[in-house]
Structure 1
Amino acid sequence: MAPLMRLVRTQSLRVPQRWARGYSSTTEPRSAHSQWYASMLPGMIPVALLGSAVYLGLQLLRSQLDHEKFLDEAREQVRQLEEEVDRLQQERALQRPAVSSSPNPASKWWPW
C-alpha cells in the first residue's frame, strides 16, 4: 500500500507536459518577433526613460519661460497704468484750484 500511495502522491504533483510552457526551453525555435523583441526591448527601456526625462525637462523649462514672459508683460502694463494715474493726478491737481476759485451759488442751498 505504501508504494501505491507514493505513486499517487508523485503523480498528483506532476504537471502534464502538454500544459507546461517552456519559456527557456531550447527545443522549440523562437519566432522572429519574439527574438526581435527579446533583443531590442532591453535596449529601448533606457532610451525611453531618457527621452521622457528630456521631454519633461523641456516642458518645465517652457512653462517657466512662459511664466516669466507673462510676468514681464504684466509688470510693463502695471508701469504704464501707474504712469497714466500719475499723469491724471497731475492734471487734476492743476485743474482743482481753478474749480475751487469760482463761486458756486448752488452749494448755499445744501448744508452738507
Structure 2
Amino acid sequence: MPKEWTRKQERQYEHIKDSAQERGAGTGRAKEIASRTVNKNRAQAGQSRTASRTSTRDISPQRRGGLRSGTGGPKGPTRDQLYNEARQRNIEGRSKMTKSELARALGKS
C-alpha cells in the first residue's frame, strides 16, 4: 500500500480485497479492485496529484455498487431448464417449442 494512504484507507483496502476474494476473485484481481476503489476515493477528495476527469466527476465506487457491471444478461431459467420441466409435466410438442413458447406453456410468462 502506498505510504500516502491513511489508516482508514488501508483498512478500507483490506476490507474490499477480502470481500472480493470471498466473491471468488483471484488475489491479483481483488487487489486491483481494492486499490482502484481507494485511489478513486482519494482522487475525489483531492488527495492525489493527478486524477482523471472520470475519477473526480463520477459518483463514488461504493455508491455505484456495480451499476456498470455486466448485469444485462439473460433473465430467468434457460430453455433446457424449461424443457425439462415441460417433460416432467408431460406437455406435448415441447421438443419443437422455443424458450418463450415453453415458458407460456408452463405458465411462467
Superposed pair shares fold, TM > 0.5: no
- Report 1 or 2 for greater relative contact order, CA contacts < 8 Å, sequence distance ≥ 6: 2
Relative to the length of structure 1, the TM-score reads: 0.24
Relative to the length of structure 2, the TM-score reads: 0.24
Q: Counting helix residues as a fraction of each chain, which structure ranks higher? A: 1
